[in-house]
Chain A
Amino acid sequence: MKILVPIKRVIDYNVKVRVKADHSDVDLANVKMSLNPFCEIAVEEAVRLKEAGTATEIVVVSIGNKSCQEQLRTALALGADRAIQIDTEEKLESINVAKLLQKVVEEEQPQLIILGKQSIDSDNNQTGQMLAALTGMPQGTFASNVAVEGDKVNVTREVDSGLQTVALNLPAIVTTDLRLNEPRYAKLPDIMKAKRKPLDVKPAADFGINLAPRSNVIKVTPPAERQAGIVVSSIDELVEKLKNEAKVIS
């Protein structure tokens, strides 16, 4: 089967973001960017399915300007076969990303689409579900296990109360949770090889989709600062403070 893996370039998860002084957005100038951690897990899962003989081809796709080719090359180095960059300078909302991906799905006809459950910048957790709605496919969100069996895929999902397993008709959409797998590191020879793998660039405008924004960001502010705390020297002092000063225990 063919697997499509949409990926996103985001601020590195270790970077502590700063809000711009004019409160228009966060400051991304000269900040380290990486492949979204959940997308890494999605790529890894696709590669494992290929290694297991279940998948025959892995196509990765990213939407953004030329800089996201860096993350597409990373995915190619990890084992994807070819890449598509949908070129745009716009910062798109999930619904518009899902609409562009729908066109890619129509063209590529993958049997399985694996996305991360959320991107760590917008924290939306929407794109996979929206793409499932637009393509009419079933969805296995927050996956911690994926097992393809014939024309179905069994997905174990991380839910509030524990785990839930669902069976989905293929073609289907899976979004990855942290526990699905541990992504590998790209090896140097594979990074070199990845430079020769095909990477198609398609302007977003060519898809004929209205990508007009659905919302205005009015402002972005830093969260409220917490008051500096104190270091206590003993359990006795801690219990006394919690009882008499904070009054949170009795």
Chain B
Amino acid sequence: MSILVFAEHDNKSLKADTLKTVAAAQAIDGDIHILVAGSNCADVATEAAKVNGVSKVLVADNAAYEHQLAENISLLVTELAADYDYILATALTTGKNFMPRVAALLDVAQISDIIAVESADTFVRPIYAGNAIATVQSLDSKKVITVRSTGFDPVATDGNAEVVTIDSVQDAGISSHVSDEISKSERPDLGAANIVISGGRGMQNGENFALLEGIADKLGAAIGASRAAVDAGFVPNDMQVGQTGKIVAPNLYIAVGISGAIQHLAGMKDSKVIVAINKDPEAPIFQVADYGLVADLFDALPELESKL
């Protein structure tokens, strides 16, 4: 069997989540190739060649792939798919965007967000905001799958794969990139951080998120937020943890001023240790927290920072 893994990257470096998607590919078992599609992405290809368990890196380096527009990438991947039994991508916004398009072009279903591989055709995925876990057997000959990175451990990077250049240029010519507005952060990536501290509506405003920063700096943590905090404009949407935001599973998740709605829990309840700081002892977050502290966050946060 042959497996094509789509590499997540920003044209400069390979995203660590790709290492987890390769782990899922290894669990399926087959000859694994990585596709690096981008523009001026030679460094990414070099990194991808070091990923363990990968025998070949395909590099499609062209301006048409710079922003990984779904219309263009899906045509490229569909063309390559002729040689593969499985197409895998990480369930991040890029993969979620183009992979269903690939599946439809191949006339197969897509299995979204798998968290485990049970056998070569059977996969495990959460449904209903993670309140049920479905085991699904695919009947399609070609399998198009997105992988939830919190379900797999990253593979090592001491491999040495062959790098092959792909000349095919697919430009559908129906969409174009206009602009990016990238959130700048010196902190670890939310999806990859070992420790995450998140604020909710209880933070009251955006300025108060500064109370989380000192703690995050001391712990080397990423800062997240609930939907309520994002909707209220306290912080940008890329900080949202939840069913429709980012799914995280750090070693330690600290929820501050977050009630614990079903949709938020969907994004963090696989964290190893959960701490909740909330002044409402009835808040549902306490039902999933390993350690709960019933306290006003404006008293608790400065004290916590001073004691770390």
A interface residues (Cβ-Cβ under 8 A, vs B): 11, 13-14, 16-17, 19, 26, 38, 93-95, 98, 117-118, 120-134, 136-139, 141-142, 144, 154, 157-169, 177-179, 213-223, 226-227, 229-236, 238-239, 241-242, 246, 248-249
Q: Does B42 contact A (CB under 8 A)?
A: no
Pair A223/B131 contact, Cβ less than 8 Å: yes
Q: Does B304 contact A (CB under 8 A)?
A: yes
> Would you give the shortest CB distance from A112 to chain B, in whole angstroms?
14
Q: Which of A163, A223, A226, A239 contacts B180 (CB 8 A)?
A: A163
Pair A125/B175 contact, Cβ less than 8 Å: no
**A218 CA to B96 CA in the complex, in Å?**
24
**A230 CA to B93 CA in the complex, in Å?**
36
**A231 CA to B130 CA in the complex, in Å?**
25
**A214 CA to B140 CA in the complex, in Å?**
6
Q: Which of B133, B138, B231 contacts A215 (CB 8 A)?
A: B138
Take A179-B231, A223-B132, A242-B275 as given contacts and tell me if A126 and B307 are in contact as well, using a CB distance cutoff of 8 Å: no
Pull 22 A–B residue pairs with CB atoms less than 8 Å apart, ordered by A: A11-B128, A17-B132, A95-B107, A122-B127, A127-B100, A128-B100, A134-B104, A158-B93, A160-B92, A160-B246, A161-B238, A165-B177, A165-B181, A166-B178, A167-B177, A168-B175, A179-B231, A215-B111, A218-B136, A226-B288, A246-B272, A248-B273
> Would you give the shortest CB distance from A221 to chain B, in whole angstroms?
5
**A14 CA to B289 CA in the complex, in Å?**
20
In the complex, chain A residues whose CB is within 8 Å of the CB of B230? 179
Besides the known contacts A129-B100, A137-B174, 20 further A-B residue pairs in the complex with CB atoms under 8 A apart: A26-B127, A95-B107, A95-B109, A125-B100, A128-B100, A129-B97, A132-B70, A138-B175, A141-B70, A141-B97, A142-B97, A165-B178, A166-B176, A167-B176, A168-B175, A214-B140, A215-B109, A218-B135, A233-B293, A234-B293
Among B178-200, those with CB < 8 Å from A are 178-183, 191, 195
Q: Which of B97, B133, B246 contacts A220 (CB 8 A)?
A: B133
In the complex, chain B residues whose CB is within 8 Å of the CB of A14? 262
Q: Does B159 contact A (CB under 8 A)?
A: no
**A202 CA to B133 CA in the complex, in Å?**
33
Closest 8 CB pairs of A and B: A129-B100, A133-B104, A214-B109, A130-B104, A126-B100, A138-B175, A165-B178, A248-B252
Take A161-B10, A248-B195 as given contacts and tell me if A138 and B100 are in contact as well, using a CB distance cutoff of 8 Å: no
**A121 CA to B262 CA in the complex, in Å?**
13
Give the nearest-CB partner of B183 in chain A: A162
Q: Does B279 contact A (CB under 8 A)?
A: no
Take A120-B128, A129-B70, A160-B92 as given contacts and tell me if A94 and B97 are in contact as well, using a CB distance cutoff of 8 Å: no
Q: Does B205 contact A (CB under 8 A)?
A: no
Give the nearest-CB partner of B10 in chain A: A161
**A127 CA to B182 CA in the complex, in Å?**
27
Q: Does B82 contact A (CB under 8 A)?
A: no
Q: Which of B134, B135, B180 contacts A162 (CB 8 A)?
A: B180
Pair A222/B133 contact, Cβ less than 8 Å: yes
Among B252-298, those with CB < 8 Å from A are 252, 262-263, 269, 272-275, 281, 286, 288-295
In the complex, chain B residues whose CB is within 8 Å of the CB of A120? 128-129, 243
> Would you give the shortest CB distance from A239 to chain B, in whole angstroms?
5
Pair A160/B238 contact, Cβ less than 8 Å: yes
Pair B275/A238 contact, Cβ less than 8 Å: yes
Give the nearest-CB partner of B253 in chain A: A248
In the complex, chain A residues whose CB is within 8 Å of the CB of B307? 235-236, 239
> Would you give the shortest CB distance from B255 to chain A, in whole angstroms?
12
In the complex, chain B residues whose CB is within 8 Å of the CB of A131? 104
Q: Which of A123, A127, A129 contacts B128 (CB 8 A)?
A: A123
Take A161-B182, A220-B134 as given contacts and tell me if A249 and B308 are in contact as well, using a CB distance cutoff of 8 Å: yes
Query: Could you give, for residues 1-43 of chain B, a 1 whenever the CB lies within 8 Å of some chain A CB and a 0 otherwise?
Result: 0000000001000000000000000000000000000000000
**A157 CA to B183 CA in the complex, in Å?**
14
> Would you give the shortest CB distance from A117 to chain B, in whole angstroms?
7
Q: Which of A122, A142, A160, A214 contacts B138 (CB 8 A)?
A: A214
In the complex, chain B residues whose CB is within 8 Å of the CB of A213? 139
In the complex, chain A residues whose CB is within 8 Å of the CB of B243? 120, 123
Q: Does B170 contact A (CB under 8 A)?
A: no
Pair A230/B290 contact, Cβ less than 8 Å: yes
Query: Could you give, for residues 67-85 of chain B, a 1 whenever the CB lies within 8 Å of some chain A CB and a 0 otherwise?
Result: 1011100100000000000
Q: Which of A126, A219, A231 contacts B294 (CB 8 A)?
A: A231
Q: Does B110 contact A (CB under 8 A)?
A: yes
Take A123-B128, A162-B236 as given contacts and tell me if A232 and B263 are in contact as well, using a CB distance cutoff of 8 Å: no
Pair A13/B292 contact, Cβ less than 8 Å: no
Give the nearest-CB partner of B306 in chain A: A235
Pair A139/B70 contact, Cβ less than 8 Å: yes
Among B101-146, those with CB < 8 Å from A are 101-105, 107-113, 122, 126-140
